[in-house]
Amino acid sequence: MILIVDFGSQFNQLIARRVRENEVYCQIEPAGHSLDKIKALNPDGIILSGGPASIYEENSPSIDPGIFKLGIPVLGICYGMHFMIQALGGKIARPVKREYGFATLKIKNIFETISNTPESINNTSQKTKNAHEETNEQNSLSLFKGMDSSFQCWMSHGDSTENLPDNFVVTASTENTEIAAIADVKNRLFGLQFHPEVEHTINGTAMIKNFLFDVCHCKKSWNMESFANGAIAQIKEAVQDKKVIMGLSGGVDSSVAALLIHKAIGKNLHCIFVDNGLLRKNEKENLEKSLTANLDMNISFVDKRKKFLDALKDVTDPEKKRKEIGRLFIEVFEAEAAKIEGADFLGQGTLYPDIIESKSAFGGPTSIIKSHHNVGGLPEKMNLKLIEPLQLLFKDEVRKLGIELGLNEDMVWRQPFPGPGLAIRIMGAVSEKRLSILREADALLLEEIRQAGLYRELWQSFAVLLPIKSVGVMGDKRTYDSCIAIRAVNSKDAMTADWARLPHDLLAKISNRIINEVDGVNRVVFDITSKPPGTIEWE
């Protein structure tokens, strides 16, 4: 088991994801845990996450520095490395140059670094011989084993190391950061100034793998079958003969969560599908067929399109849209849930990216990025206990779980669709006319993406209706119509994403079809922004 200490990084669950990819179990725990509790968890290794704070600030997050004397391997990432350095007698300071984004990491040879220190130069020949005998062990414990001498990494820090504690050596540098990675091989303590967990860092996954198996000597023992069996057993024990109600969207998250709960309690699960008028073309009809045919559950379909559109008529601010949609959903959901007698639990298909972007997940100081998610607005007055069986999983893990549970592939591979629906893909006011334009454009886009064989390859692909009009010429006439933006991204977890390099011929075909077939559109553009710095959705 690997213990991940949450110092507030937006990416701390990405670290857990990288650990789980290697079939190693891990737990994320808040920084405030006592040394006794850490010992009781009996981890094979500890990873200290990054975080937004500076180590020298008052009330910066910390953990008992006794963890470095337990004989347990520790990997500190960014702020986690700063904490380790300061706790062991080193110094962190704010440099003249900060470093954000891509950087070239240059790896240093550990033994060469050690042998060139003043202490090693003054060593006796016997000490030098002993040092040489330790070379193989040192190299085997290097996080950079088997890697090129330089490659790309992802930096995000305003502070840097000024002085190292005793026994540490520098193992990698960048142009702006001399101390980009450190190691105390003897005590199995390692630090990385950059983020190995994000996809932008080449070899980042391999570094974590080296830490797990070469340093911590972990064994592979965790997979989706064991997760499913454990989750079903936990749900059975918690719910027993009571009822669970659940808002079902038809997306992969809520469908997998519903199926997992259904396998635990059967017909005691009651699902509610709310048509808010913000769905994609033919969404309700397709979902009604697939859900009732494939899941064999108690599902109530509720039509509240007019209620939502009336409430959104003059709302243009993105956060107000999300909050208004969330408020109305809760209002409708409460009314429908009240019709189900004996319900004590509320089921949700919340994933970890939802949680970490909405609130601090495990007691850590993570910043809130956006509001409306499943976790963001449930009223206390519902007086229901919450069941979120997927809250530790990422989207690709949920898909694996869906396949493990027997969910059909069409549902398992549905691209993510936001809870607020098309409302946050319409920049500005939401109206039936603007929804109609976006629905048609989006349907054409997805049709061409599927025909090109790219639907499963892409994390998301969708159309966005912009709040501007531009001049065009159609049929020798001047037009002044709307603009559609195409958004297509590649990602594994939505925490980071890169814009998809769609073939130019495909983009040309999509553009031509939207302009020719969607009344009211005369211009199509393609979004080439990654996350970060942008987000996947426009609002």
Q: Which residues are catalytic?
A: 78, 195, 197
Give the CA distances from residue 131 to residues 17, 355, 406, in Å, rounded to whole numbers and listed in that order: 37, 48, 56
Helix ranges restricted to H, 338-382: 352-356
| Contact of 394 with 492, CB cutoff 8 Å | yes
In the block, tokens 């079903």 appear at 232
Cα 496 to Cα 395: distance, rounded to the nearest angstrom: 13
Phi-psi region of 173 (alpha: psi -120 to 50; beta: other; left: phi over 0): beta
Strands 477-490 and 385-387, how do they pair? unpaired
Spatial separation of the C-alpha atoms in residues 512 and 411, rounded to whole Å? 29
Residue of 323, 284, 302, 351 lying closest to 424 (CA atoms): 323
The reply to whether omega before 379 is within 30° of 0 (cis) is: no
* Inter-residue contact 369 to 357 (CB < 8 Å): yes
CA distance 331 to 535: 29
What token pair was written down for 467?
């709040």
Q: Please name the helix (run of DSSP H) or strand (run of DSSP E) that holds residue 499, with its range, or none.
A: strand 498-499
Residues 6 or more apart whose Cβ sits within 8 Å of residue 351: 253, 390, 391, 393, 394, 395, 398
Report d(CA 117, CA 449) in Å as an integer: 58
Q: Which residue has the tokens 């994320």?
A: 28
Strands in 179-235 per DSSP E: 181-184, 189-192
Residues β-bridged to residue 272: 247, 300
